A = this chain, B = another copy of it.
Amino acid sequence: MAKEVITPSILPGFMELLPADQIVFNNMLDTIKKTYEKYGFIPLDTPMIEKSEVLLAKSGGETEKQVYRFNKGDNDLSLRFDLTVPLARYVSQHFGDLTFPFKRYHIGKVFRGEKPQKGRFREFYQCDIDIIGNENLSVINDAEILSVIYSTFKALGFDDFTIRINNRKVLNGFFEGLQVSDKTEVLRTIDKLEKIGNEAVLKELEAIGLSKENSQRVLDFVGTKGSCRDIIKHLREMNFQNEMFNEGIDELELVVNYIDSFKVPSANYTIDLTIARGLDYYTGTIYETVLNRYPSIGSVCSGGRYDNLAQKYTTKKLPGVGISIGLSRLFYQLREAGILGEMKRATPSEILVIPMNGTMGNALEIATKIRDEGVSAEIYFNEGKIGKKFSYADKLGIPYVIVVGEDEVKSGIFKLKDMATGEQADLSVEQIIEKLKAQDNI
């Protein structure tokens, strides 16, 4: 009689990886974490479940619809949908215990009940950094954030990427000068420039209520091209009489001037007056990052400067600047694009130790010695044919194997087999450890 079993499955829109993929994913996560820490960002962890009344305070619209919200006992609970609202809550709640500027990173899962579609997940990792000031925050931080983006993608193994920056003061000041009534609508329209093209944007701008002349000026303005210094020069030469506009140019110039000192190559960043970032709360520098060979992926790292992180929770003015990498989505897209290459390693083990009849104790001692030196080692315990044991190493992508036979135990010399080349080398345990330690880790 067959037992009744339930078919194991997960929900659509949720990511679950097999070991080889998981290891690549974790390596990316670790790389991001290490880079963030190199810049002195402090790790933070907040609950995944928060009080709905706190988490969803004054929010609404699309966000609220996507939130996983439910009751347990008398509590109205919600799963966090980003890492920014929890940061605002955290900084307000623990204000007296924090030192400002407060630089934090947060890598964790967030939850959004969106319609599942290719590359969009309902539970996904965000990797955020933010620098929060108490009352004020130097614009040099905006240059540093650009440097963090550069270092992060460089460390992830990318060379050909561009960090696009812009400044909302320049945009807003310009629109103010043109007496555009609905800046937000204009910004949203500009955001679509790359997607829908000049003509369509012109039409949309006129539909919003801009004169034909002003629509054309908007398009000319956002179309300004050249080196960062060229663009700043051009903006200055516009001699546009608007305070906010000129303040924005000053900020852009300051970021550009300092970014050289961070040794970010000029090939990796540019001023792009077309980017606006939809979100209303950005008020200064804004960032997008594109992998130049894979433009269809869109921005892989975005963010910006805001005047007030936590007005929902405190009357203190907390300006900040930050970015976010949506790692689940990025990983998925890189894998789909075939950029991650063949993933051979499905284990952290550097070596498989195979005992023979009567040498189990010796095998355990050898593996223990190797592990004590910080090298990941595994022992094959099950009995069976030697071919099956080697095949285990092969399937998991363990790079080296030694067989612990009686002769080897007596002589203290083992044949270290390189599973990729098939080559064997006669080495002592100490020499094996030395060789494994010298290898690149996965």
CB of A55 to closest CB in B, whole Å: 10
Contacts of A94 in B (CB 8 A): 18
A377 in contact (CB, < 8 A): yes
Q: Interface readout for A33-71 with B: 1 if CB under 8 Å, 0 if not?
A: 010011111111111111101100110000000001011
Complex contact A46–B147 (CB within 8 A): no
The complex places the Cα of A55 from the Cα of B109 at a distance, in Å, of 20
Complex contact B261–A140 (CB within 8 A): no
Segment among A268-276, A292-300, A359-367, A412-420 that sits at the interface with chain B: A359-367
The complex places the Cα of A255 from the Cα of B396 at a distance, in Å, of 27
Complex contact B365–A261 (CB within 8 A): yes
CB of A254 to closest CB in B, whole Å: 10
A313 in contact (CB, < 8 A): yes
CB of A118 to closest CB in B, whole Å: 18
Contacts of A70 in B (CB 8 A): 68, 70-71
Count the copies.
2
The complex places the Cα of A71 from the Cα of B68 at a distance, in Å, of 9
Contacts of A361 in B (CB 8 A): 258, 260-261
Contacts of A41 in B (CB 8 A): 348
Complex contact A347–B42 (CB within 8 A): yes
A93 in contact (CB, < 8 A): yes
Segment among A6-14, A172-180, A212-220, A236-244 that sits at the interface with chain B: A6-14
Complex contact A147–B368 (CB within 8 A): yes
Contact-size category for A: 35 or more
Complex contact B48–A123 (CB within 8 A): yes
Complex contact A51–B10 (CB within 8 A): yes
The complex places the Cα of A393 from the Cα of B156 at a distance, in Å, of 30
Contact of A39 (CB < 8 Å), options: B16, B49, B75, B378: B378
Contacts of A26 in B (CB 8 A): 43, 45
A382-424, CB < 8 A from B = 382-383, 392, 395-396
Contacts of A50 in B (CB 8 A): 10-11
A353-385, CB < 8 A from B = 360-362, 364-365, 368, 371-372, 374-379, 381-383
Complex contact B42–A23 (CB within 8 A): yes
Q: Interface readout for A148-181 with B: 1 if CB under 8 Å, 0 if not?
A: 0001000000000000000000000000000000
CB of A246 to closest CB in B, whole Å: 22
A97-112, CB < 8 A from B = 97-99, 101, 103-104, 109, 111
Beyond the given A39-B371, A40-B348, please list 10 additional residue pairs across the A-B interface where CB-CB is below 8 A. A16-B90, A18-B98, A22-B45, A23-B42, A38-B377, A40-B377, A136-B382, A140-B364, A258-B360, A262-B364
For the complex of A and B, list the 9 residue pairs with the smallest distance between their C-beta atoms, beginning with the closest.
Answer: A70-B70, A40-B378, A261-B364, A40-B349, A8-B93, A138-B381, A37-B348, A14-B47, A8-B313
